[in-house]
Amino acid sequence: MADLNQKFDVLVIGGGNAALCAAISARRAGASVLVLEGAPKFYRGGNTRHTRNMRCAHDAATDILTGPYTEEEFWDDLLRLTGGQTDEELAKFMIRESKDILNWIVEQGVRWQPSLGGTLSLGRTNSFFLGGGRAMLNALYLTAEKLGVEIVYDAEVIDLEIEHGMFLSAKLKQPIDGTSEIRASALVAAAGGFEANIEWLKEYWGEAADNFLIRGTPYNRGSILKMLLDKGVQDIGDPTQCHAVAIDARAPKFDGGIITRHDSVVFGIVVNKHAQRFYDEGEDIWPKRYAIWGRLVAAQPDQIAYIIFDASVRNSFMPTLFPPIEGGSIAELAAKLELDPASLEKTIVEFNAAVRSGTFDHTILDDCRTEGITPPKTHWARRIETPPYLAYPVRPGITFTYLGTRVNRQARMVMKDGKPSANMFAAGEIMAGNVLGKGYAAGIGMTIGSVFGRVAGREAAKNARN
Amino acid sequence: MHGTKILEEADRLMTVCNSCRYCEGLCAVFPAMEMRRAFSDGDLNYLANLCHACGACYTDCQFSPPHEFNVNVPRTLAVARAESYAAYAWPRAFAGTFARNGLVISLVAALSVAAFIFGFAALHDRQVLFGTHTGPGAFYKLMPHNAMAALFGAAFLYAIAALAMGVRAFWRDIGEPIGMKTDAAAVLQAIRDAGELRYLDGGGVGCFNEDDRPTDRRRLYHHFTFYGFALCFASTCVATLYHYLLAREAPYPWWDLPVVLGTLGGIGLLIGPIGLLAERWKRDSILVDEARYGMDVAFIAMLFLTSLTGMVLLILRETAAMGPLLAMHLGVVFSLFVTMPYGKFVHGIYRFAALVRYAMERRAMAQGTAE
């Protein structure tokens, strides 16, 4: 291993997609690079381990993409899903750069494949990693190692020495080979958000946050983000917001990943712990319906809800990790879910009575709907009447947070006084809020990571040489 | 509920994998899994034999140990695969040979070599056994051609019959009808896939052996081994045709087809097994079924010894060592034949059958989507 007492050109804190893209691009630009990954080797890479695709603009179909996805269309999508909470200049810059990332990332050893089974709706817009996010990450690490990037695991940074917007050194929790202070000419912070820091989440969500499940790495505790904001870096993004989806309540507290998700809402109804429906289950098609239910469940008592459906649709969606809970009657199911049987029966009887039959098609906004109940189910409404009756318990699964460090087009951090930092850059989730003020679209986190990682590494190397 | 603990575990893993699917581009196992929502014993045995053990899905998995989901598909399917070999063994009484396979194969080989040596010694006086024999028919001074052909023909036919019964059991277990019409396109596809070891490449980068750096060495050594074996087999077939059709008796000169094929094959069958053994030795133990180490090594060693004794025999066939060497070579080959249905050799047979099935399924799915 390299001598950690030397002053590196570029220090990268973090170990995911953004961090590795930054490290590789800085190294390719001639800089000496040290990567400090806070997690042990197996858990390296933060939430990149759990990703599977990236959203990049392209003007024509490719081997793996079924059609063009122009810069304009990407921008329109981003504008819509963020409700305008995006930095237009940065966002358009990212979208333009994303085109070249499709090739650049392949040069770094990452391989693509056509969209995965069960994700046909993304076949045109998103490029999937062959073997998934961890395969992508493994490829980036191999490339970085081959190029001579120094990588240290279990290297938790507990303090940053920053003077007047200039990074000087980072302090390690555990000394490595007797060194606990790492000096570098430039810093790239790519250490993720704070979604795994329940105490921090509680500042905004109160005790409800205790019932949140964290879908990704337990290592995204936001410590680097907090240090930077405390030391004069300008913040961006709503601190009170996080992206959440409904995931199985039986999932582990952390790191359950993609396989705990449920996308069966449209095939039934969703009730809270009082066995009451609380939102239109037929409002919109994938992916939007997938993205809103985490927040909806978070607003319910005890942050729990139950997707209720019947045997007629049990094979209509992707197989799930946790099997549905079964009951031969509504009352039996309610007992297993510890819901009041009479209330659940009443909810279902009322729902069934309100269903107006139509032609069911879950791929479009069909004409199966309810009449005369509140909330309505505006599409895909069908009676729940074929035993056994089935249910998935769901809780909010937190994917990422929006609060971050403000950056400019060089991925250079901007200080509270509006001046760019002398030598500090940021990439990935830690600065995603610049582009993604709210909302989410599949694969956009990886686009932010790769594009700004590559830029941050290049600019940091340039900065270090000057 | 499944018949064995390992199939329970395989079912658990396939349920995890089927709700993830990130690995579907790596090999045939995951697309085959996606065609199912639930897994019978036969389904799992099919997937286990379809797996080429490249290890990519372990290295690429975000849920592999130490993650609490503890997903280790290569090892689980390796254990299930080995247990399936025992389950399909014919006759049933021989299923136990897979339990301590290294020992069984070693004993059979030792007994077989000893039998040939003692047989030659008992039937011939010392001058014949340790004499120098040259020219056509030299080998047959020690063992008449008809006796050799009858003994090895019988052993070979027995092996074929036992293997066929095993495949029949496998085919039935995985849910395919026995009397099915031959599906030529699927068989051709399977020959291509097996011939190039298409699914031993980790989805394109190579397989994972001792660490997380993919390499293509196992595939290369397997090619040496398999094609070496095939050339040796071709050599034997050509020699048989020479004998019966052209009345030309072995030994043949070095430039003649049986010797050329046998020599090339023999070289492959020396390099390949040494390489495979070295890779097996280095292989990360997390990926493999450690309990079946003996089975793997025994088969590789048998192939190596077959080639080694054959090559030494070729070199020294005009010396007094020919008699004992011939006894050794024939002893090794005989034991290789009779243990074929009861050792690692069967992996190729069941995997090929699984590839045929996969090709059929793929086509059925493609047609289904088109309609």
| Tens digits of residue pLDDT in B265-283 | 999 999 999 999 999 999 9
Distance from CA of B309 to the nearest CA of A (A): 43
Distance from CA of B275 to the nearest CA of A (A): 25
Sorted by sequence, the CB contacts under 8 Å of residue A215 that are 6+ apart come out as A50, A245, A247, A251, A255, A256, A257, A260, A397, A398, A399
Residue A389 · residue A329 · CB < 8 Å? yes
Residue B183 phi/psi, 5-degree rounding, is -100, 95
Q: Residue A101 above 70 pLDDT?
A: yes
Residue A378 · residue A235 · CB < 8 Å? no
Pairing of strands A179-189, A8-13: parallel
Q: Residue A394 above 90 pLDDT?
A: yes
Residue A320 · residue A248 · CB < 8 Å? yes
Residue B295 · residue B103 · CB < 8 Å? no
Q: pLDDT tens, A218-243?
A: 999 999 999 999 999 999 999 988 89
DSSP state of A234: P
The percentage of residues in chain B with a pLDDT greater than 70, rounded to a whole number, is 98
User: How crowded is residue B58: how many other Cβ atoms within 10 Å of its Cβ?
Assistant: 21
The DSSP annotation for A407-450 comes to B-TTSEEEBTTSPEEEEEEE-GGGGGGGT-SS---TTHHHHHHH
Please tell me the distance from the alpha carbon of residue A65 to that of residue B94, in angstroms, as a whole number.
Answer: 52
Residue B19 · residue A318 · CB < 8 Å? yes
Instruction: State the average pLDDT for chain A.
Output: 95
Q: What size, in residues, is chain B? A: 371
Q: What's residue A223's pLDDT?
A: 97
Q: Which of B105, B263, B26, B295 is nearest to A131 (CA)?
A: B26
Confidence band of A423 (pLDDT split at 50, 70, 90): very high
Pairing of strands A213-214, A389-401: parallel
Pairing of strands A213-214, A235-236: unpaired
Q: What's residue B371's pLDDT?
A: 44
Q: What's residue A47's pLDDT?
A: 96
Please tell me the distance from the alpha carbon of residue B259 to that of residue A168, in angstroms, as a whole number.
Answer: 73
Q: What's residue A3's pLDDT?
A: 87
Please tell me the distance from the alpha carbon of residue B244 to that of residue B233, in angstroms, as a whole number.
Answer: 17
Q: What's residue A385's pLDDT?
A: 96
DSSP state of A301: G
Is there a contact between A131 and B37 if contact means CB atoms under 8 Å apart?
no
Helix-, strand-, coil-residue percentages of chain B, each rounded to 5: 75, 0, 25
Residue type, A351: F
Set of chain A residues whose Cβ sits within 8 Å of the Cβ of B16: 259, 321
Per DSSP (E only), the strands in A59-178 are 112-113, 126-129, 150-152, 157-163, 166-176
Residue A356 · residue A381 · CB < 8 Å? yes
Q: pLDDT tens, A258-271?
A: 999 998 999 999 99
Is there a contact between B20 and A257 if contact means CB atoms under 8 Å apart?
yes
The dihedral built from the CA positions of residue A303, A304, A309 and A311, taken in this order, carries a sign that is positive
Low-confidence ranges of chain B (pLDDT < 50): 370-371
Residue A146 · residue A70 · CB < 8 Å? no
Q: Residue A362 above 90 pLDDT?
A: no
Set of chain B residues whose Cβ sits within 8 Å of the Cβ of A315: 37
Residue A134 · residue B60 · CB < 8 Å? yes
Q: What's residue A206's pLDDT?
A: 93
User: How crowded is residue B288: how many other Cβ atoms within 10 Å of its Cβ?
Assistant: 18
Q: What's residue A289's pLDDT?
A: 65
Q: What's residue B176's pLDDT?
A: 79
Instruction: For chain A, list residues whose CB is within 8 angstroms of any CB belonging to chain B.
Output: 42, 49-50, 52, 111, 113-114, 116-118, 128-135, 138, 142, 252, 255, 257-259, 315, 318-321
A416 vs A292 pLDDT, higher one:
A416
Q: Is B55 left (phi over 0), alpha (psi -120 to 50) or beta?
A: left
Residue A183's DSSP bridge partners are A169
Count Cβ–Cβ pairs < 8 Å, chain A vs chain B.
81
Sorted by sequence, the CB contacts under 8 Å of residue A407 that are 6+ apart come out as A90, A413, A414, A425, A426, A431, A434, A452
Q: State the best of A53, A127, A138, A316 to mutate against chain B, taking most chain B CBs within 10 Å.
A: A138
Confidence band of A285 (pLDDT split at 50, 70, 90): confident
Residue of B nearest to A43 (CA): B62
Confidence band of A118 (pLDDT split at 50, 70, 90): low
Q: Which of A50, A45, A52 is nearest to A219 (CA)?
A: A45
Residue A173 · residue A157 · CB < 8 Å? yes
Please tell me the distance from the alpha carbon of residue A81 to that of residue A443, in angstroms, as a whole number.
Answer: 13
